[in-house]
Amino acid sequence: MGPILIVAVTCIASMAAALPYPEIVENEAGDVFQLVPLERVRRGSVYGNVDITDPGRLIVGAKGTPIDNANHRWDTHVFATDNIRHHSPLTVGGEASYLHKPTGSTAHLAGTRTEQWGTDLKASGRYNFFQDKTTNANVEAFASKHIGGFPGNQPTDYGVMFNVRKDF
């Protein structure tokens, strides 16, 4: 029951963060106006489906983009999945991704928990420290770990890569 409550609260929080907040302005005469966008980007969605390729699999989740402006983008995704026909354990998870648009630098965090099988945690990122029209240089890093369940705690898998790309 606890994981379902966590997923539900995270879904609601993700959707609330994706709601547009009205911008209120005041002119020189003291009149107050509410600015309403003429076009609105869809920032959040809730989904649920039953997988017909695996009868009985139920998937519920929410995706959202709480921040999306000229410089930054933050995407979130939470989900829960279960196979009610085969009585498989409940799986809950979530992820968050960040993009710094001017440099193309990214960060990604993810976690998945399956009863009796344990928890998988992952983190990765890329920092672009040099780029022009023909050259890109960056450093990337990742880490992942399995905790608990089968096959037990595993050592952390991690790495760092330096990349340089030159187009001729």
Sorted by where each begins, the domain ranges of the chain are 2-166
Tokens of 101: 């648009």
* 3 state DSSP class of 28: coil
> Are β-strands 105-114 and 135-147 bridged in parallel, bridged antiparallel, or unpaired?
unpaired
Q: How confident is the model at residue 141 (pLDDT cuts 50, 70, 90)?
A: very high
* Alpha carbons 72 and 67: distance in angstroms, whole number: 7
DSSP string spanning the chain?
Answer: -HHHHHHHHHHHHHHHHTSPPPEEEE-TTS-EEEE--SS----EEEEEEEETTSTTEEEEEEEEEEEESSSEEEEEEEEEEEETTTTPPPEEEEEEEEEETTTTEEEEEEEEEETTTEEEEEEEEEEEEEE-SSEEEEEEEEEEEEESTTT---PPEEEEEEEEEE--
What is the reported pLDDT for 87?
76
- State the Cα–Cα distance between residues 76 and 125, nearest whole angstrom: 16
Q: Is the peptide bond before 20 cis (omega within 30 degrees of 0)?
A: no
pLDDT confidence bin for 28, thresholds 50/70/90: confident
pLDDT in tens, 50-80: 666 666 777 888 888 888 888 999 999 998 8
pLDDT higher than threshold 70 for residue 38: no
Pick 160 or 18 by higher pLDDT: 160
